[in-house]
Chain A
Amino acid sequence: MENMKKEAMAIELKQITKTFGTVVANNKIDLSVRQGEILALLGENGSGKTTLMNMLSGIYKPDSGSILINGNAVTINSPEDAIALGVGMIHQHFKLVDALPATDNIILGVKDKGIFLKKSRSEKIAEIIKRFGLNLDPEKKVYQMSVSEKQTVEILKVLYRKADILILDEPTAVLTPQETKRLFEILLLMKKEGCAVIIITHKLNEVMEISDRVTILRKGESVATVNTASTNAQELTELMVGRPVELSIEHPETYFDENLLEIHHLTVEDEEGINMLKDISFNLNRGEILGVAGVAGSGQKELCESIAGLLPVKKGAILYHNENIVGKTPNEIIKMGISMSFIPEDRLGMGLAASMGMVDNMLLKKYNEGKSPFVSKKSARELAKRLVEQLDIVTPSVDTPVRRLSGGNVQKVLLGREIESEPNVLITAYAVRGLDINSSYTIYDSLNEQKKKGVGVLFIGEDLDVMLELCDRIMVLCHGRVTGNVDTKHITKEQLGLLMTDAGTKKGGV
């Protein structure tokens, strides 16, 4: 240990502070990574992880503090500077040109000498692929790739630029358990090669599995750095949240026996005529939580929006109490007395009006009630105030534009409004995305409350561990098809993972 410390750190951040207006995103953060080490950067949403890493990759600049790379103080003005210093970041959202093959995406923007040296570049790419045992055909076009392949291209891009410091921003969010395992193998190989790797995540089991050390951020401050070997998930959670938390989800039994929603052979196309949902059939019962699992972009969004009447349906029927609601406008669906609450994944773009306050947002679906030409805000104001109390929403006032609230609070405003409308069917897409752990559990509790009241809940989720605990059944979507509809009592996470990929479909088909 003593020997290691004398060596220069690959990265050393000292007293980094970054503010946005009055918000202190990072407050005097210290962090260091050695060569050949994997550091997990753990923290809840809004704790400043991404901000900190964006300063390393040249997207933001710190207000104060210093960055040392291999022992030298540096100023990073742009992502170009960062790459010149050997720092490569793999973002959550891929930045690739869909129409081009992997090779072209990788060499795009690299200022190598020569114009026609594509061959030698390809050789170089092939060599990296071999060295790290990557699973990728460099001539495959990006639009034909799976999410995991696209991520591999992003990693290759960074390696091709000879980065030896790698930052991955929540790389597993879009991967199946099997793909995650594959990614971790690659990261371990990089570690062996002497790279310094920082992985941003909020999944504790991954931290325990892959990292050597963990730095925990809370509310913009680094609260601790611990060796992974000498800690456990419970301790990490407490460091992350700042107090002990109970990590279990209730799973109440209900005894309703009634079909609420029946979907028959639903097929939905996007604007270009590509099938987003193919021949989907399932039903949703009273008093149950039906989980919908799948890799991002498998048709979850289309499923939600077609049930809510926002997307045209090409074929099939959606029966609500045996009445087909396909072809009706959202307004008609609301007016038919169907209380169906849909919590879209794009909160500020769809569920809420961002520059309006909570009061005005409460009115969104019922402003049109009554014959008077004027909007009545009295009951909306009362409702807003009640929600603030019930759900601990942090806001300066109920008239503050909701876009000024933090992600978690925005989520609570939306969910609170939808639950207050006393739905029969509640559709939630990524209900806890962006929430801290405590708020997440508040949301799980209130979904269970709804379930006990006999509401049918369609829960589009991403964390399989949570879904296995919370849901009664899980339906798996893959490329717009249903590849499984299983009771959570009889399935494991790995089996779900298989269903989420093509591999699962093929096996299931045989």
Chain B
Amino acid sequence: MGALGSRTKQEPFIRVVKKTEISIGKTFLLSLFALIAAIMAGGVFILAIGQNPIDVYITIVKGAWRSSIATKGTIKIAIPLLIAAIGITPAFQMKFWNIGAEGQIIMGGIFATYFALNFDYLPHGILLLLMFVAGMVGGGIWGLLPAVFKTRFGTNETLFTLMLNYIALYMIRFFTEGPWRDPASSGFPKIATFSENARLDRIFGVHAGWLIGLVLVAVMFVYLKYTKHGYEISVVGESINTARYAGMNVKRIVLRTMFISGAICGIAGMTQVTGAAYTLGEGVAGGVGFTAITVAWLSKLNPVIILVVSVLFSMLDKGCSVMQSTFGLSSAVSGILQGIILFFILGFDFFTRYRFVFRKAR
């Protein structure tokens, strides 16, 4: 009997318990808490480097919106992020883990650039339409490839899309140093700047990409929620067996959806080269494709929330660069601060799914 007693262990102090699904109101409240926690943790970091957190935060928010130039800058950052996040959404809704937005953006940029460099004698409207379609085709092909291999041979789409990113990236270098090298630039290889004719028009002072983004938000919202295609995507994401049972052609749906996903990301690449950079460089995507995954996931794949979140992300980005110059801080500081804030906001997702149970005093 004594032996039995000694075998008995004590209950662990904390246990993690899965929550039942929580209401939208509570989710919102938790997100608010996450934001406050993020701001406080970031504040501690700012204090540690000898600055006043309140001043710094005010600078970040003001910096993003203080003047029309700043506002335009913020919006310019938001455009590719928004479009790429919208692009990722249908793939993720289908539980096809498209990590390749980066590469799809680049391919969209490369395809669009081809027309900008070689067909700039065409009328402006036709040329831009051509570039738009080319961007979609380029990104679409890059999205279609992993889907073809997945449906044919069952390859892992996460690794496949990830690897395609690098191929796309090195293709830019190939074009820069090879066939598309600007003969006018001496020494440092680069692709020629687009002529005026091949540049995207501005609307209210910012390139028209923002309008394209807003239209895509509306289209994607309707597409996923009200169309037969959207319904198919949801069912395939839910269970491939259920989709087959319902008589759906799962392969066709996967291929079609990944083409659409890649094509939209390709549009992001097209607007970047023709609206923002006026040329194709290695920084055309610049990690946007990865940030977009965070944005889409954080927004629970809701296009309207994606719009809000991508604007907030760009505000943080723009505001931090203003803070950097105002306080004379290094870019690493703003990197760390952004990291801390993101960590808290993403980490709080845990609390929407789980809760802690503490050992009760006996």
Contact = CB atoms under 8 A, between A and B. Distances in A.
Interface of A: 20-23, 61, 69-70, 72-75, 77, 81, 84-85, 308, 310, 329-331, 333-335, 342, 344, 346, 348-356, 360, 363-365, 367-368, 373-375, 404
A350 B247 CA distance: 12
B242 A349 contact: yes
B26 interface: no
Nearest to A370: B228
A373 B9 contact: no
B246 A21 contact: no
A356 B234 contact: yes
B245 interface: yes
Contact of A85 (B4, B15, B230): B4
28 contacts: A20-B20, A72-B1, A72-B8, A74-B4, A74-B8, A75-B8, A77-B9, A81-B9, A85-B7, A330-B244, A330-B247, A331-B248, A349-B242, A350-B242, A353-B235, A353-B238, A353-B239, A354-B239, A356-B235, A360-B234, A364-B242, A364-B245, A365-B246, A368-B228, A373-B228, A374-B227, A374-B228, A375-B230
Indicate the size class of the contact surface on chain B.
20 to 34
A84 B15 CA distance: 22
A400 to B, nearest CB: 10
A354 B226 contact: no
Contacts of A72: 1, 4-5, 8
A406 to B, nearest CB: 14
Given A21-B19, A22-B20, A75-B8, A375 B226 contact: yes
A12 B18 CA distance: 28
B246 A364 contact: yes
Contacts of B230: 375
Contact of B11 (A77, A308, A342): A77
Given A77-B9, A310-B244, A330-B245, A375 B228 contact: yes
B55 interface: no
A70 B8 CA distance: 13
Nearest to B12: A77
A348 B235 CA distance: 12
B300 interface: no
Contacts of A85: 4, 7
B66 interface: no
A329 B246 CA distance: 11
Nearest to A373: B227
A201 B194 CA distance: 76
B246 A70 contact: no
B151 interface: no
B20 A21 contact: yes
A382 to B, nearest CB: 18
Interface in B1-38: 1, 4-5, 7-12, 15, 18-21
A402 to B, nearest CB: 10
A342 B9 contact: no
B356 interface: no
B231 interface: yes
B158 interface: no
B229 interface: yes
